A and B are shown apart, each in its own frame.
Chain A
Amino acid sequence: AQRVTQPEKLLSVFKGAPVELKCNYSYSGSPELFWYVQYSRQRLQLLLRHISRESIKGFTADLNKGETSFHLKKPFAQEEDSAMYYCALSGPGLESNFGNEKLTFGTGTRLTIIP
């Protein structure tokens, strides 16, 4: 069965310092991985997807299949980065259900940026 592990429940980082939020997964097939973010009093929203290889709000995440990791990184933390971050894995869904998103989430990491 697939699993997503985020080992840090809480992470505090000074403004301007680098940030790394850890995510490890177990999955038998080819994983699709995502980071979701929930800012204070806002809804859960997609931050980035590994297949897009994009940088969003200065964050990047690289899928490392050898280490089964998908860590989220940002070189210089900003105060507005304070939020709850969830790593998520897609699948396995039924092959007939293209577009159906059954996500498996980690427990989340609360990131606090210290001014």
Chain B
Amino acid sequence: EPEVTQTPSHQVTQMGQEVILRCVPISNHLYFYWYRQILGQKVEFLVSFYNNEISEKSEIFDDQFSVERPDGSNFTLKIRSTKLEDSAMYFCASNTGGVAGELFFGEGSRLTVL
């Protein structure tokens, strides 16, 4: 069964460094998402992406964040200058858009900012 894959599974970085988290969505899916979960808190929507552009973004998704689909298969989240509060589990998800509420999640990338 096809799955959303994410790399790396865990990344440790210094504050102020740039980080790129990578995702390979399920191949026939059209919508792509990033969510994050700070330890002990809710899973929060960051951004959705469709037809090679951002569909919607939350207030969390400020100018430090960007997303890209550089080659038709990967979907990346870039954090330009990491802050301590960016430490979280970042989940990529995708769907076809045909079934309400059904997102297919990756296993997550844990980001630790020191």
Contact = CB atoms under 8 A, between A and B. Distances in A.
Contact-residue size bin, chain B (C-beta under 8 Å from the other chain): 20 to 34
A101 B31 contact: yes
Interface string A88-104: 10100110011111111
B106 A46 contact: no
Nearest to A89: B101
Given A44-B43, A97-B50, A98-B97, A103 B103 contact: yes
A99 B105 contact: no
Nearest to A98: B97
Interface string B38-57: 00011111001010000110
Contact of A101 (B33, B42, B44, B107): B33
Contact of A97 (B43, B48, B104): B48
B102 interface: yes
B95 interface: yes
Contacts of A45: 104-105
Nearest to A88: B101
B100 A93 contact: no
B98 A99 contact: yes
Interface of A: 32, 34, 43-46, 49, 51, 86, 88, 90, 93-94, 97-108
A69 B26 CA distance: 33
Contacts of B108: 43
A103 B50 contact: no
B56 A100 contact: yes
A11 B31 CA distance: 34
Interface in B1-45: 3-4, 30-31, 33, 35, 41-45
B91 interface: yes
